[in-house]
Amino acid sequence: MATAGAPSRQPSHQSHPFQPQPWRDRRLEIVLGNLLRAGVLFSAAIVLAGACVYLCRHAHERANYRVFVGEPSDFRTIPGVVHSVINGRGRGLIQLGLLFLIATPIARVAFSVVGFAIERDRMYVVFTVIVLAILLYSLLGSGLTF
Amino acid sequence: MREGFSNIRIGMFLEIATTLGALLGAFLATRIPTSALAIIFGAVLLYSAYLSRKPRPSAQRNLPPDPLATRLRMNGTFPDVDGPRCYNVQNVPSGFSLMFGAGALSGLLGIGSGAVKVLAMDQAMRIPFKVSTTTSNFMIGVTAAASAGVYLSRGYVDPGLAMPVMLGVLAGSLLGTRILVKAETKSLRLVFSLVILVLGLQMLYNGLWGKI
């Protein structure tokens, strides 16, 4: 990423309290914006590919959403989704795209930790790590990985 | 997403509240009758539609800096028609608690609850409207991710339904960001309050007639 080499040479930063630097915030914002855009477009492409497969195969079926039926395990865990993608299933691809969509903001938060660390803004590194911990807890604690 | 409007510090700080709220909401989702919630939520939305139409105090533009917001380094600038404009964030604690509520609603009802986020930032924290809307946009994804994993693992996500919804929303939001830069704040505000008015009425209807 572009900010990895962002200048943080000013020695004054270590001895003085943090001074907000608008242009650095702008750079971080731009990198994070691009990351989000790329992640969303990438997942949309996967969902679109899955949609083509799914619609080609099920074009003549009548949709029935009157009764709520939970999804089979193929579409509710990460290994299940990966397995169904390998088997060339359209709905598996759609779920994979949705997983990438969920992962995109989490990646953004992870990158923000790095960004705030480069800015030497300890307070916001702590805030961002808290957010990241909550997100990971909800993902890993929900049984998605099994 | 347009750069220069959203404030990553405000967003990140408030995301602590929204993700915690979303976790709580996703946890409660199986325990509370949804129709009761829909009614409450509808009422909240109608009230917010009313609030956002109410004229605001005229001393809006040059507010004194709030000590807590200053310590949290939230004050910033954004590009306006006549050059960059500074703003001072107010009422951080009430904004934070409103955000917790927004997160809980989003986890509970499976919505981004961007409307509630915008209201918390716009009305309570007195952040300029365009900064509020773009920062809330930035936050919605993170809030949604906190509960999306729970939904998916419970088998609540139907690929056949999610696919057209996702592609449609994406196309719409790409169009919306193009309009944002040129749009007048006044007309944005009108559209926003009309949308939450309709949303509120729809929620009330669904809650009262047991459609959820």
Q: Kindly state the DSSP code that residue A61 receives in the 8-state scheme.
A: S
pLDDT above 90: percentage of residues in chain A: 13
Say what the pLDDT of residue A123 is. 92
Residues of chain A contacting residue B165, judged by C-beta atoms under 8 Å apart: none
Range A25-38 burial, b when 16+ CB lie within 10 A, else e? bebbbebbbebbee
In this model, does residue A15 exceed pLDDT 50?
Answer: no
Asked if residue B3 belongs to a domain, the reply is no
Is A66 or A140 the better-scoring residue by pLDDT? A140
ipTM at complex level: 0.78
When CB atoms are compared, the residue of B16, B155, B166 closest to A127 is B16
Q: Which residue of B has its CA nearest to A108?
A: B142
Quick: pLDDT tens for A23-76: 566 777 778 778 888 988 999 999 998 888 888 887 666 666 666 666 776 677
- Per the listing, tokens 């917001």 go with B69
C-beta of residue A27 within 8 angstroms of C-beta of residue A3: yes
Residue A69 confidence (pLDDT): 61
| Residue positions counted in chain A | 146
Q: Do B155 and A71 touch (CB under 8 A)?
A: yes
Low-confidence ranges of chain B (pLDDT < 50): 1-2, 58-59
What is the number of structural domains in chain B?
1
Tokens representing B10 are 């405000």
8 Å CB contact of A50 and B4: no
DSSP 3-state of B90: coil
Task: Report DSSP state, residue B66.
Answer: P
Express each pLDDT in B53-87 by its tens digit: 766 554 456 678 888 888 888 888 877 777 778 88
* Rg, chain B, Cα only: 17
Residue B2 covered by a domain: no
pLDDT of residue A70: 64
**What phi and psi values does residue A51 have, to the nearest 5 degrees?**
-60, -40
Residue A1 pLDDT class (50, 70, 90 cuts): very low
pLDDT tens for each residue of A116-133: 898 888 999 999 999 999
> 3-class SS at B78?
strand
Can you give the pLDDT at residue A16? 45
Chain A residue with CA closest to B140: the answer is A105
pLDDT band at A13 (very low <50, low <70, confident <90, very high): very low
CA–CA gap between residue A40 and residue B41 (Å, rounded): 29
- Alpha carbon B29 to its chain centroid, in Å, reads 20
Q: Between these two residues, A146 and B94, which has the higher pLDDT value? A: B94
User: Using a CB-CB distance cutoff of 8 angstroms, which residues of chain A are in contact with residue B76?
Assistant: 22, 25
Q: Report H helices in chain B.
A: 8-28, 34-53, 67-71, 92-109, 114-119, 129-153, 159-182, 185-208
Nearest-CB residue to B159 (from A22, A91, A104):
A91
CA distance A51 to chain B (A): 7
CA distance B54 to chain A (A): 32
CA angle A64, B37, B93 (to 5 degrees): 130
pLDDT of amino acid B211: 61
B150 neighbourhood in chain A, CB within 8 Å: 138, 142
Band (A9; pLDDT cuts 50, 70, 90): very low
Core vs surface per residue A95-109: b (16+ CB within 10 A) or e: bbbbbbbbbbbbbbb
Encoded amino acid at B107, one letter: G
Position B189 scores a pLDDT of: 80
Do residues B34 and B117 touch, judged by C-beta distance below 8 A? no
Q: How far is A110 from chain B (nearest CA, A)?
A: 11
The answer on pLDDT for A83 being more than 70 is yes
Domain holding B62, by residue range, is: 8-208
Residue linked to tokens 């996702």: B166
Q: Which of B2, B20, B163, B167 to mutate to test the interface with A (most CBs of A within 10 A)?
A: B163
Residue of A84, A102, A120 to mutate when probing chain B, most B C-beta within 10 A: A102
Q: For chain A, give every domain's residue range.
A: 39-141
Helices (H), chain A: 12-15, 22-58, 78-86, 90-118, 122-141
The alpha carbon of residue A96 is apart from the nearest alpha carbon of chain B, in Å, by 10
CB B193 within 8 A of CB B53: yes
- Asked, for residue B173, whether it belongs to a domain, the answer is yes
